[in-house]
A and B are shown apart, each in its own frame.
Chain A
Amino acid sequence: MQYLLLIYGNEAAMAAAPKEAAIQMSAAYGAYTEAMKKAGVFLAGERLKPTKIATTVRVAGGKTNVIDGPYADTKEQLGGYYLIEAPDMDAAISWAARCPGAGTGTMEVRPIWPMAEYMPAYTA
């Protein structure tokens, strides 16, 4: 099963953190990513640039709306993700708990919905 681990955290607090803390956090993420790769779990994962440079796009009534900023103003912002291969939800939760971001923010674990499950005819 594939799972998407979404990393939410307080961007402002992270930007204000002392340099040493930021270096330590980056090193922890490096080690976490490496441990995932060595355990054969890692499929993909990236950090996202801050939400202030996000752009929201929506088409309504034939009219395209392009708005500066993220889709939702939340206390914690989506800051990165990992796509992993894990045997089950329990294993995915264990990996989410190990993410350095789990200690400073919130992790959301979302199972990937394979097309074969909701469109069997299409993929057959």
Chain B
Amino acid sequence: MTAGRPDTARAAAEAAARQSYGKLVAYLAARTRDVAGAEDALADAFAAALERWPRTGVPEKPEAWLLAVARRRSIDAVRRRLTSEAGRDHLKLIAEEMEARMTDEDLPDERLRLMFACAHPAIEAGVRAPLILQTVLGFDAATIASAFLVSPATMSQRLVRAKSRIRETSIPFRVPERAELGERLDTVLEAIYAAFAEGWSDPAGTETRGRNLATEGIWLGRLVASLMPDEPEALGLLALMLFAEARRAARRNAAGDYVPLAEQDLALWDDALIDEAEALLRCAAGKGVIGRYQLEAAVQSAHTTRRLTGRTDWMAIRELYDALSVIAGSPVVAINRAVAIAEAEGAAAGLAALYVLGDDKRLDDYQPYWAARAGLLARLGNIPQASEAYDRAIGLERDPAVRRFLQGKRAALRN
């Protein structure tokens, strides 16, 4: 009972440390294109902040504090051997500029530029989200590796490679011009959404080594939305993540069992987050440019109307998925569209829409396809095929709570 407050204070201090650290890394790297050097220069100071701030509170000028510690440590003869040449050059650079400014409030926020560099098309798509999590938020490779189901050594190698690519190929630290912004912003938003989604699908919906990536994804989404308030897709992504986050508590019951969306206790949905998401979505819609994230957020919004009307507007959801499959078609969208069709027009129509996906090899190990297929076959009374599809879904699921839920569904087929 008393554990709540210190935990909150600890989380706030850690968030502040990551915030300041990210700002300094971005500030240094934007000038030198040497991300690894910037991280190296600040590593000791950041570790000290993570250790100390939860106990002492966040200092008044957190960036200045980090910088002072970084400089003191690098002067230390022992540390000098550990801190690389590049790291020392970074400290010299930032110290000169910082002293000229004398106040950390003036430190320009270059994190958006850093994110655009990390999500540059020349960087391998799979490493963009991990790179942002490491450089902007200071997560270590092992933590990121667990979240993305990759071995820590592999993740570490990929991050190192990506950083040297930024330096060697001179990937620019800038927000792209309007003409190319759309496509480039997409890769940034995609990386943020990937971080969020990893946290969201985290088994048991709990923490990865004490931190949940869904929370970090939302944090990054807020940052981008605040730095680019006129970009409807940035607002749309934040709205989408907030809608999903609003239902976090309702995803499991008291016994820790999985609760599907249709059966969730509406009282457990976070009304404040839903309202914030609705407002963001309205604001985005007002800008007159539709996009993938706004459409997906609109689907979430349609789901939450159940809160007010007691029923879900499946026709509207179906139409939104129609639009999504045109502008951002994927097996995932097709599966969700089929489920919406089944709700709006009946299970047979839904199953027909699912079968259009045919023999896509990617579906062999894609659990949602098999779960959707099983549910629709069950509704049509095709018990043998439904059991078979449930078995596939059960075999592919990694969350024990969802696995138990699917096993229950399969067992219920016989009755």
Contacts and interface: CB of A to CB of B under 8 A. Distances in A.
B149 interface: yes
A98 B398 contact: yes
A30 B151 CA distance: 27
Contacts of B149: 90, 93-94, 97
A28 B392 contact: no
B384 interface: no
Contact of A90 (B150, B203, B397): B150
Interface stretch (A7-15, A36-44, A47-55, A66-74): A36-44
B395 interface: yes
Contacts of B392: 31, 34-35, 38
B391 A40 contact: no
A41 B391 CA distance: 16
B6 interface: no
Contacts of A102: 398
Nearest to B406: A31
B395 A35 contact: yes
A100 interface: yes
A112 interface: no
Given A28-B403, A38-B364, A89-B151, A98 B203 contact: no
Majority-rule SS of B interface residues: helix
Contacts of A24: 404, 407
A98 B151 contact: no
A81 to B, nearest CB: 17
A106 interface: no
A114 interface: no
A110 to B, nearest CB: 12
Interface string A19-31: 0000010011011
Nearest to A98: B398
A88 B333 CA distance: 27
A31 B407 CA distance: 10
Interface in A70-93: 89-90, 93
Contacts of A109: 151
Interface in B149-164: 149-151, 154
A109 B150 CA distance: 11
Given A40-B364, A103-B203, A98 B404 contact: no
B370 to A, nearest CB: 8
Interface string B389-401: 0111011111010
Contacts of B398: 94, 97-98, 102-103
A31 B365 CA distance: 12
Nearest to B401: A103
A28 B394 contact: yes
Given A24-B407, A89-B151, A93-B150, A98 B364 contact: no
A40 B364 CA distance: 9
A109 B396 CA distance: 17
A39 B150 contact: no
Interface string A94-122: 10011010111000010000000000000
Interface in B9-38: none
B3 to A, nearest CB: 26
A25 to B, nearest CB: 10
B364 A39 contact: yes
B149, B392, B398, B404 — which one has the most chain A CB atoms within 10 A of its CB? Answer: B398
A28, A33, A40 — which one has the most chain B CB atoms within 10 A of its CB? Answer: A28
A3 B392 CA distance: 21
A36 to B, nearest CB: 7
B405 to A, nearest CB: 11
A24 B401 CA distance: 12
A94 B398 CA distance: 9
B151 A93 contact: yes
A82 B105 CA distance: 56
Contacts of A30: 391, 395
A33 B407 contact: no
A97 B403 CA distance: 13
Given A27-B407, A89-B151, A93-B150, A103 B395 contact: no
29 contacts: A24-B404, A24-B407, A27-B394, A27-B407, A28-B395, A28-B403, A28-B407, A31-B390, A31-B391, A31-B392, A31-B394, A32-B395, A34-B395, A35-B391, A38-B364, A38-B392, A39-B364, A41-B365, A89-B150, A89-B151, A93-B149, A93-B150, A93-B151, A94-B149, A97-B398, A98-B395, A102-B398, A103-B398, A104-B400
Given A34-B395, A98-B395, A98-B396, 11 more contacts: A31-B392, A31-B394, A38-B364, A40-B364, A93-B149, A94-B149, A97-B398, A100-B403, A102-B398, A103-B403, A109-B151
